[in-house]
Amino acid sequence: MVSCRICGPKLSICCTLTSLWGIIMLSILGVLFYVRSPNLVEDLPIKEEDFEDYDKVIEAYHTNAYNCWIAAGLYVVTLAFSAVQFKLNNQASYTV
């Protein structure tokens, strides 16, 4: 594990909370993209003329869903890192 403190106490708690919310929200967004929610139709990586081919639309939805889940996974890594930093900061402040 990382033995040196890179982030201070405020930055580590901020990153922890951001990562936590990122995981929750991106997983839910991924699910919504996967079930092809019509509300997210403007957020697709697809050009206007491709809308005629419905398979392309489905593919775009699925691409975004996988991307969201991968990003959520990246945030799990960030959460682990910042949680470790937070614990290290707590320990360091006890040993004066």
Complex with another protein: residue 66 or 80, whichever CB lies closer: 66
Distance CA 56, CA 44 (A): 11
For another protein, which is the closer residue by CB, 3 or 42?
42
Least CB distance to another protein at residue 74 (A): 5
Would you mind telling me the total number of residues written for the chain in this entry?
96
Residues binding another protein (CB under 8 A): 18, 21-22, 25-26, 37-45, 52, 60, 63-64, 66-68, 70-71, 74-75
Dihedral, CA atoms, 79, 77, 6, 12, nearest 10 degrees? -10
